[in-house]
Structure 1
Amino acid sequence: MKICISNLRLAVLPLALTPAFPAFAQTQPAPQLRETVVTATRTAQPLSDVVADVTIIDRQKIERSGAAGLADVLKRVPGIEMSRNGGPGATTSVFLRGAESRFTAVYIDGVRVDSQATGGAAWESIPLALIDRIEVLRGPAGAVYGSDALGGVIQIFTKRGEQGFAPFAGVGVGTYNTRKLDAGFSGASGAFDYALGVAHEQSDGFNARTVPTQNPDRDGYRGQSANLRLGFQVNRANRLEATYLTSDMDSAYDNGLGKDDRNLHELRALGLNWQAQWTDAWSTRLSVTDSTDRYETRPSPYLTTTRLRGYTLQNEFRLGAQLFTAALERKEDHLENAPIDQGRSQNAVALGYGFTEKNHTVQLNLRHDKDSEFGGKTTGSAAYGYAFTPEWRATASAGTAFRAPTLYQRFSEYGVPTLVPESSRNVELGLRWSQGASSVGLVAYRNKVNNLITFAGAGTCASPFGCYSNTARAQYSGATLTAAHAVGGVNLAASLDVQKPRDLATGKSLARRAKQHGTLSADTRVGSWQLGAEAQFSGRRFDDAANTRVLSGYSLLNLSASTPIARDWTLLARVDNLADKQYELARTYATAGRSLYVGVKWAPL
């Protein structure tokens, strides 16, 4: 969605809602193997040792979901709400625990992706078909990741090659003349491992704007993407790896009656990594990353390009039950958005300490960032977990984070060069119980943000229509309850988020965020069929900051089924919005009605 002001287009972050994957990582049944997670501390560690609030989504869950896009997968995660202006190719935003979309730090295979124009990642341009795993960290992580992670972190990983050769291919069709095709292969031979994937999807879409002032046509999309991941084990101690992802999304939107425009979004993410295991206790990792986010509209002229580069050197030292980490990091951001041609850099040193023994887990992190524009910023976090029985575990944590203003917020027509970073303080408590296939989890949190940047009235900037300012304060508080239980061959799961994201200056609710949202799901196996049902619900929201326009609450029912149809072949079918519910995630923007998708996948064992 864009707002035209003096013939200049501002990419405005839209908002929306949808429910959640039904369980925290810590509340899921214990896996047979010790699953590891890297997002919590940027260090691989067993999931059972993680104090942070983390959810893991693997490829099997993604395929079973039958989701149309990455947004449709993430909206099932506890604590996440979504916004999308139309179909999967339209502008999309993510809200972790009610926090602004720009407050989620996003990485693809360790490569940071962001926009210095709008702030936040372009979710619609990240191809779901090429994703192998997603890790979601809820809660500020500035002491680990630096700027951007006020609300949390989402790490996206593509497939890594394993021994042997594993090709795959998939094709599917659906409502709105949706067509999808993906193919690739992965494997390993000797010291080399490799993975390659390509994907294409397109849809005629539906009429996303049903108001009389907009074209009554379909607003479709077309996307192409590819990824490559190469690894080489130089010797027992040293490994080299390169990752690359490219994605091009072309989607339609209405710009008035008789006026159709196109969103052209290009995303590139390149990473080069060296890992060294010097001894059993000491390891080093060096990463060089580069990403480009290019957004253009045609025929209406607008073009913005963000380039990010990063350098990270991290050392890990293990001493019995203790883990020490020390990292040096440099970030370089650059924005071209005529007449803007500006850049900045941040240098940081980060220290971490972890301790896990018997019933106790401790995680401490401290980081200092020195920005080329704002000077120094120090963030820290402390977390403690205590398992007082084999089934029960309590956690507590506190942390600070910040986000530097985007280059657009400082140097555009609406920018103010003297803007200071937004900063937050977060505290949370958690209690989890797990026994066999049954689990229950509760996390309560409060995250206060100062110097919140908003678009206010006329001020010191060049535009008479309004300027960015540091005048706002916000508080994101709430609780997330999750549960899972298996009975009679049926796996049941549920999540409920009760939250109060509000503007502390006005006392108003933040726009397009519900006070309650959640999911209830069930899946079972009948013969060769894997069957699933999922109910999603959201309470009412306000469409504006003044809380004068109400978006009604809604509930949706989705069904899915999959079965092998021949050796190496699997059939997948999914019906979303079975009751054909009409609802809005943003005022005057339509959502998809009842939708059917059917696909087949070939993957030799």
Structure 2
Amino acid sequence: MTSSFTHVRRAAAPACARPAVLTLALACALPALAQQAEPVLVAQNLHAPSMRETVVTATRTAQPLSDLVADISVVDSETIENSGATGVVDMLARLPGVQIVRNGGVGNSANVFLRGAEGRFTAVYIDGVRVDSQSTGGAVWEQIPLSQIDRIEVLRGPAAAVYGSDAIGGVVQLFTRKGEGAFAPYVGVGIGTHNTRKIEAGVSGSAGVDGAFDYALGLTRTQSDGYDIRSGAGHNTDKDDYTATSGNARVGFKVNAQHRIDATLLGQTMNSGYDTSPVPVDDRNKNRLRTAGLTWAAQWTQAYTMRLSVNDTLSRYETEPSPYRTETQLRGYLWQNEYRLGAHLFTAALERREDTLINPALDEWSKTIDRDRSQNALALGYGYHAGAHTLQMNLRHDDDSEFGGENTGSVAYGYGFAPHWRATASAGTAFRAPTLYQRFSEYGDASLKPESSRNVELGLRYAQGSSTFSAVAYRNRVSNLIAFAGGGNCGAAFGCYVNTARAEYRGITLAGSHKLGNVQVHGSMDFQNPRDLDTDKRLARRAKRYATLGADARVGGWTLGAEVQASGQRFDDAKNTRTLGGYGLFNLYASTRVARDFTLLARVDNLADKSYEVARTYVPPGRTLYVGLKWAPKQ
């Protein structure tokens, strides 16, 4: 059970890093730091985002930023490309309200805490296709290839009234590249620390009358010799290497002005080393992800549009030579309807989700799991935006084949009380059904109840030109929290999954950006207190304070960037007896066009080679350097 029970973490760094204090001081000193007037748009861009830019994550419909009251961050393709980040979690770690934990380096188990909520409380989608594991719960982040991702939208706060089960902490939407314009090929190569090698290639474009047919294809291969990711005695001290191959294909066809068909396919296989056993055993992770989606969008009248989609996901994880394998297949069907009447938007959706978990018994201590379940849902929404007022209401009923009905709802209101200023308030409920593994494994309890939450939040936002600022205060209380503990009904000596805990995720997020000359400064600061309400202990591996600060500039043909990531101390265990020290990291990146069609990218992470830990007995990679060269002919 490597996947479920070996993810222990410890940090041995100094107390809360001074960069966190510096981040807050600089952020407060800027005259007009900020976020978007509605959602939080924090991306390491050099340009302020357009208020007419559209997002789809808040309500599952395309809406301009100016019409939303949700707390959202957007990361665009330029930011992802210039960052040089190695994984999706590394990109997310630079956003407000996000903390990450990873057992060592790339290819090893990673987790994302959105506003301090458990990793399984974030609903994850790739091109509208749901990604989840019915074993661990939540997305397996190391399976998702950042190299194939073109845009990221992060919604903070419960969204079960729109998305159903799992969105207690929020939603992360990942989008691959969409083809447009003339035929555009690219080829890239890169090298880095630990003998990391990367090669990528792809094409995109459109053809036909008015670009009716569009396409985008990409392939990436990455290899690294790695390093020893464990500390202390009793493990294999070999280098923990990894190899990953990923690809995506996205094609669309505009039948006519009213009808469009889109198909997406993404996949990745990864083989990486981890250390649990002593010498000479070479422990291996083997991950595989495949997502596929087909969508038909139709505009039947000026006011009424419809979207019909079918999608399928396969997430597989196994270990060798320690025998463990789990495979989740998720299939979804969505019929989304939108009717616009002036300032009013009405939505109605029928959705079905089917989950299957296969865990074969590979040793005498485990048992075979081959179970499935389904959820049918009806979701209704109403939105209003006119003048200074914005209102959003959603209701959803999910009928689970195992638990029966679950009702969720949300209401959000925004008021523009002065030019460039808006106050927001919202409340919502959410739930997550226990995974099939939590119910039917040797550690499971078939009588487990869904976890449920109630959230309230208040926000203050400002936006003018390239200056943005936001302050969002929230409180999210979860009941029937599923924990792994001794006792329980499963009878296993090691412990069982039980519905015994209650938790509260409470905090304030400050975020903003401001342009000083040709330098765009952006940052965020989170003050939070994620606690177990029964024990009054802080939830494990979450800091009460963490921050980011970054600056980007264009100088003489170069794009230059610097960033600070800082975290306060955390606890490795639920009893709060093992302290994880705070840390601060300083990263640099730069890119420039070295010839007409060639771009050079360089990145240094952890410039000071800071010694720290984010997972107990696991060692982060230290100072790393990556240099890449990409050929992409100008159109």
TM-score by length of 2: 0.92
1:71 counterpart SS class:
helix
| Contact residue 362 and residue 384 of structure 1 kept, 8 A | yes
Q: Find the counterpart in structure 2 of residue 534 from structure 1.
A: 563
| Contact residue 214 and residue 254 of structure 1 kept, 8 A | yes
Q: 1:33 to 1:282 in 2, by over 3 A?
A: same
Q: Which letter maps to 1:188?
A: S
The structure 1 residue matched to 2:227, chosen from 206, 209, 216, is: 206
**Range moving further from structure 2, 442-451 or 155-164:** 155-164
Q: Find the counterpart in structure 2 of residue 294 from structure 1.
A: 316
Q: Find the counterpart in structure 1 of residue 290 from structure 2.
A: 268
Instruction: Give me the whole-angstrom Cα distance separating, in 1, the residues matched to 2:176 and 2:250.
Output: 8
Q: Find the counterpart in structure 2 of residue 229 from structure 1.
A: 250
Q: Which letter maps to 2:453?
A: S
Which residues of 2 match residues 130-529 of structure 1 at below 5 A? 130-190=148-208, 191-258=212-279, 259-338=281-360, 339-529=368-558
**Range moving further from structure 2, 158-167 or 374-383:** 158-167
| Contact residue 552 and residue 561 of structure 2 kept, 8 A | yes
- 1:423-471 deviations in Å (ceiling 9; x for gaps): 0000000001122222211000000000000011122113122111101
Q: 1:16 to 1:123 in 2, by over 3 A?
A: farther
Q: Find the counterpart in structure 2 of residue 595 from structure 1.
A: 624
Instruction: Give me the whole-angstrom Cα distance separating, in 2, the residues matched to 1:292 and 1:321.
Output: 40
| Contact residue 518 and residue 538 of structure 1 kept, 8 A | yes
Instruction: Give me the whole-angstrom Cα distance separating, in 1, the residues matched to 2:289 and 2:56.
Output: 24
The structure 2 residue matched to 1:550, chosen from 564, 579, 589, is: 579
Q: 1:149 to 1:542 in 2, by over 3 A?
A: same
Q: Which letter maps to 1:200?
A: R
Q: 1:206 to 1:195 in 2, by over 3 A?
A: same
| Contact residue 35 and residue 513 of structure 2 kept, 8 A | no
The reply on whether 1:576 has 2:598 as its aligned counterpart is no
The reply on whether 1:105 has 2:123 as its aligned counterpart is yes
Give unpaired runs (5+ residues) of structure 2: 12-16, 28-33, 42-46, 361-367
Q: 1:165 to 1:373 in 2, by over 3 A?
A: same
Q: Which letter maps to 1:317?
A: Y
Q: 1:164 to 1:34 in 2, by over 3 A?
A: same
Q: 1:598 to 1:86 in 2, by over 3 A?
A: same
Which residues of 2 match residues 64-83 of structure 1 at below 5 A? 64-83=82-101
The reply on whether 1:10 has 2:24 as its aligned counterpart is no
- 1:333-354 deviations in Å (ceiling 9; x for gaps): 0100121100000000000000
Q: Which letter maps to 2:297?
A: Q
Q: Offset of 1:598 from its aligned partner? A: 0.5
**Range moving further from structure 2, 213-222 or 347-356:** 213-222
1:252 counterpart SS class:
strand
Q: Offset of 1:16 from its aligned partner? A: 9.1
Q: 1:82 to 1:480 in 2, by over 3 A?
A: same
Q: Which letter maps to 1:90?
A: N
1:60 counterpart SS class:
helix
Q: Offset of 1:33 from its aligned partner? A: 6.8
Instruction: Give me the whole-angstrom Cα distance separating, in 1, the residues matched to 2:369 and 2:499.
Output: 21
Q: Offset of 1:232 from its aligned partner? A: 1.1
Instruction: Give me the whole-angstrom Cα distance separating, in 1, the residues matched to 2:292 and 2:6.
Output: 27
Q: 1:245 to 1:322 in 2, by over 3 A?
A: same
Q: Find the counterpart in structure 1 of residue 31 from structure 2.
A: none
2:418 counterpart SS class:
coil
Q: Offset of 1:14 from its aligned partner? A: 6.1
Q: Which letter maps to 1:509?
A: R
The structure 1 residue matched to 2:62, chosen from 33, 44, 49, is: 44
Q: Indicate the structure with greater strand content.
A: 1
Instruction: Give me the whole-angstrom Cα distance separating, in 2, the residues matched to 1:49 and 1:12.
Output: 44
2:345 counterpart SS class:
strand
Determine what percentage of the aligned residue pairs are the same residue.
63
Q: 1:220 to 1:24 in 2, by over 3 A?
A: farther
| Contact residue 10 and residue 572 of structure 2 kept, 8 A | no
| Contact residue 15 and residue 92 of structure 1 kept, 8 A | no
Instruction: Give me the whole-angstrom Cα distance separating, in 2, the residues matched to 1:250 and 1:536.
Output: 29
Instruction: Give me the whole-angstrom Cα distance separating, in 2, the residues matched to 1:437 and 1:323.
Output: 29
Q: Offset of 1:603 from its aligned partner? A: 1.4
Instruction: Give me the whole-angstrom Cα distance separating, in 2, the residues matched to 1:164 and 1:69.
Output: 29
TM-score by length of 1: 0.97
Q: Offset of 1:276 from its aligned partner? A: 0.5
Give unpaired runs (5+ residues) of structure 1: 4-8
2:142 counterpart SS class:
helix
Number of matched pairs? 599
